[in-house]
Structure 1
Amino acid sequence: MLKASEITKTPSSERLLNLWARRYTPEVSFLLGDSSSCDELLKAAAPQGRESTTNKLKDKMLDINCQMGWIQTKNLYSYIPNVLDLTEARRITKFAFRVYRKLLEIYQQQSSKIEVENNSLSQWVIPAVEELAYALEPILIVFQEQHVASKDWRSLGFMTSQLNFTNKLMLKRLTKVEQVLLAPYFKFVEEQVAMPWQRVCSHAANYELNSPELKLVEQMMPNSPEIAQSVYRKLTELLPNNRSRRGKLTDNGISHSCIRDLNMFQAYILLCFLEQNMEPIEQELVPLCAMVVEGVEIKWELTKNWCEVLANEIESRLDSAQKDLIKPYTQGMKQAFFKERRSLGCKEEMAAEVV
């Protein structure tokens, strides 16, 4: 869940900001070694090129894509009767339109520093990720509030799905090089409403640069996508027949959601770790998961294994001293979900304690 937060600039927070920005490194592998593609990319990244890209997604087309994104989201959750009425759908679509219009304004204003060496592209990321976060924060919070205010609380869980569908629809209207440049911005929006990386960076300001706590977070942040992939693979092996109302765990749409949510869980664990309390997980993550579980009918077996495998995967990548630091929060996550198991799909009383 997105909450307003300001990042105090310190060497520690700057270091995490750089790691956060790296999550939005464009995928350029298919362009490497191709001089013509490099030239196209440089043109698309120039101010005139960015203006041309945003013109393809101007108001009318943007509105259509936001509406189509909502329709696809509704279809995805069609098994839930009367999810949202027409008035609510129009209101939420209107605010989605505002989110993307603001994002495209920022994209056109920012400039990527791209260098080509020996027909190869050097890596780059979204410039000034914290500025992007601050610029989008007010409108994203209002967008989030529209879902929260819906008559059906389950619509809160649809927000990231709507953003994901709209992202895909809009990218289809662009050339490959334009997609390379704009996709990281779309990914940022989808993650920003769900993952508290901004708050993680904010709390880093409370730690010295060489503190063991900051070093642990520095180590784990870049590894979170790989950890999410690994945990997801293990879950599909453990529970090959697991199903919810959306389908099987291995279905394409569900795999995207699972990997995104495993990244979200890691962000919350690191946030609790830096805050030195479990409130973000207990008061934000668990209630959000309870909403999704009830609407989608996710079995407790999956949630229980999800927490167990994720905690083990995180701890396995740390040395003994680091494990001692993080365990109160990985194990605390397991305990928080176990405590609320009744609202998380557990039908029978469980006598065993979470270790």
Structure 2
Amino acid sequence: MLKAVETFKTSSVQRLIGLWAKRYTPDLSSVSLESFSYKALREAASPEGRALTSAKLKDNVLNINCQMAWIQTKILYGYIPNIIDLNEARRITLFAFRVYKKILEIYEKYSLNHIPPTAEAFESNDVCVWGIPAIEELAYALEPILLVFQEQHIVSKDWRALGFMTTQLNFSNKLILKKLTAFEQILLAPYLKFVEEQVAIPWQRICAAAANYEIDSPELQLVEQMIQAAPEIAENIYRQLVELLPNHRSRRGELSDPDVTYSCLRDLNMFQAYLWLCLLEKSMTAMEEELLPLCAMVVQGVSIKWEMTEKWSQLFVDEIISRVNAEQKALLLPYLQGMQEMFWRERSHLGYKEQVVDSVV
């Protein structure tokens, strides 16, 4: 969940902000070496190229994409009768449209001032050089409209509609990228990834919480170490899930489906972020009030078997424990145990009788 936070300029905070920003480095892997054209990339990154990209996504295209994304989201959660009425649908679609309008404004505004002369320079340069502003600036520019967008879901008649937000943004992002060239996708995709994560993953709040710690504190060193490993951690857990549950299927598809893979990896990053937030805040509140309700909604909303949730939780704990030393494990145990107890209580609440995972010790 997105919450407005004030970020102080301490060394600890700046260290984590730097790691947060690295999540949105433009990715060249989607373009093969044979089809790569540095000239085309430079042209797409220029002020004229960015204006052209924005023009492709003019108001009517954005509006249609937001409507289509809402329809896809409703179909996914369609078993819930009248989860959102027509007026709510129009309102939420309107605010989704405003989110993307703001993204495109920022995207155009931060066109390249200094374009690296070679492809090698592209790979070694800071992402800000390629048109993404300082991560805090991007966050604060989008914060007002995202908070209002989030509020439209929170005030819905059905609390489960809050889960629509991330799904709707995910579907919208895919539809938008389909309208663009490969090189436009490389440059705009980090912005779209950012907005999807910003409403679901509390990276910014982790950075803000770091203000309470010295840069050499055990807590901050642990969080810094694990944030850098976050993508690898998510991939390892996901690979084990696919092996353990080869026949698992939800309303969105099989675990090996590309869309499901993407969502699982994003959500595994979300789990990690909530663990580090709880550690730095010295409280389980964020998990109990935000992560658990969202998980319960997803389990019910897209027909995910509880077996999947339990294995997910156990593999998550095992992977985290395997990467820390004895001192770090002692710091983490209260939060990992608290997470498992939290999911066990929710299991009982949903009507499941038998426990299939062991508590971490």
Q: Confirm or deny a common fold (TM above 0.5).
A: yes
Asked if the contact 1:114–1:122 (Cα under 8 Å) also holds between the matched residues in 2, the reply is no
- The residue aligned with 2:359 is 354
Q: Could you list the per-position Cα deviations for residues 174-217 of structure 1 after superposition, in whole angstroms to 9, with x for gaps in the alignment? A: 12111111000000011110000000000111111122211111
Q: TM-score, normalised by structure 2?
A: 0.91
Q: How does 1:164-313 map to 2 (within 5 A)?
A: 164-313=170-319
Q: Could you list the per-position Cα deviations for residues 289-344 of structure 1 after superposition, in whole angstroms to 9, with x for gaps in the alignment? A: 1222222333322222111110110111122222222222222211221122223x
Asked if the contact 1:300–1:346 (Cα under 8 Å) also holds between the matched residues in 2, the reply is no
Q: Quickly say closer, same or farther: Cα 1:299–1:117, change in 2 above 3 A.
A: same
Asked if the contact 1:32–1:120 (Cα under 8 Å) also holds between the matched residues in 2, the reply is no
Q: Quickly say closer, same or farther: Cα 1:60–1:347, change in 2 above 3 A.
A: same
RMSD: 2.2
- The residue aligned with 1:321 is 327
Asked if the contact 2:31–2:182 (Cα under 8 Å) also holds between the matched residues in 1, the reply is no
Residues 1:133 and 2:134 are matched in the alignment: no
Asked if the contact 1:38–1:116 (Cα under 8 Å) also holds between the matched residues in 2, the reply is no
Deviation beyond 4 Å, 4+ runs, structure 1? 30-36, 349-353
CA distance in 1, matches of 2:250, 2:357: 25
CA distance in 2, matches of 1:119, 1:288: 42
How far the C-alpha of 1:33 sits from its partner, in A, is 6.8
Asked if the contact 1:315–1:323 (Cα under 8 Å) also holds between the matched residues in 2, the reply is yes
Q: TM-score, normalised by structure 1?
A: 0.92
Q: Give the AA of the match of 1:141.
A: L
Q: Could you tell me which of 145, 148, 154 is aligned with 2:151?
A: 145
- The residue aligned with 2:52 is 52
Count of matched residue positions in the alignment of Structure 1 and Structure 2:
354
Asked if the contact 2:24–2:194 (Cα under 8 Å) also holds between the matched residues in 1, the reply is yes
Asked if the contact 1:26–1:183 (Cα under 8 Å) also holds between the matched residues in 2, the reply is yes
Q: Could you list the per-position Cα deviations for residues 152-187 of structure 1 after superposition, in whole angstroms to 9, with x for gaps in the alignment? A: 322211211111111111111112111111000000
Q: Give the AA of the match of 1:314.
A: I
CA distance in 1, matches of 2:259, 2:119: 38
Q: Quickly say closer, same or farther: Cα 1:149–1:48, change in 2 above 3 A.
A: same
Q: Quickly say closer, same or farther: Cα 1:198–1:53, change in 2 above 3 A.
A: same
Q: Quickly say closer, same or farther: Cα 1:317–1:353, change in 2 above 3 A.
A: closer
Q: Quickly say closer, same or farther: Cα 1:31–1:286, change in 2 above 3 A.
A: closer
Please identify, of 41-50 and 208-217, the stretch whose mean Cα deviation from structure 2 is larger. Answer: 41-50
Tell me the secondary structure at the aligned position of residue 37 of structure 2. Answer: helix
Asked if the contact 2:76–2:302 (Cα under 8 Å) also holds between the matched residues in 1, the reply is no
- The residue aligned with 2:116 is 115
Please identify, of 135-144 and 233-242, the stretch whose mean Cα deviation from structure 2 is larger. Answer: 233-242
Q: Give the AA of the match of 1:66.
A: C
Residues 1:39 and 2:39 are matched in the alignment: yes
Q: Quickly say closer, same or farther: Cα 1:351–1:19, change in 2 above 3 A.
A: closer
Identity %: 61
Gaps of at least 5 residues in structure 1 are none
Q: Quickly say closer, same or farther: Cα 1:147–1:208, change in 2 above 3 A.
A: same
How far the C-alpha of 1:46 sits from its partner, in A, is 2.1
Q: Quickly say closer, same or farther: Cα 1:145–1:114, change in 2 above 3 A.
A: same
Tell me the secondary structure at the aligned position of residue 121 of structure 1. Answer: helix
Q: Quickly say closer, same or farther: Cα 1:119–1:295, change in 2 above 3 A.
A: closer
How far the C-alpha of 1:253 sits from its partner, in A, is 2.7
- The residue aligned with 1:80 is 80
Q: Could you list the per-position Cα deviations for residues 248-272 of structure 1 after superposition, in whole angstroms to 9, with x for gaps in the alignment? A: 3333332222211111010000000
Q: How does 1:14-29 map to 2 (within 5 A)?
A: 14-29=14-29
Gaps of at least 5 residues in structure 2 are none
Q: Quickly say closer, same or farther: Cα 1:56–1:232, change in 2 above 3 A.
A: same
CA distance in 2, matches of 1:286, 1:51: 42
Q: Quickly say closer, same or farther: Cα 1:2–1:346, change in 2 above 3 A.
A: same
Asked if the contact 2:237–2:319 (Cα under 8 Å) also holds between the matched residues in 1, the reply is yes
Tell me the secondary structure at the aligned position of residue 144 of structure 2. Answer: helix
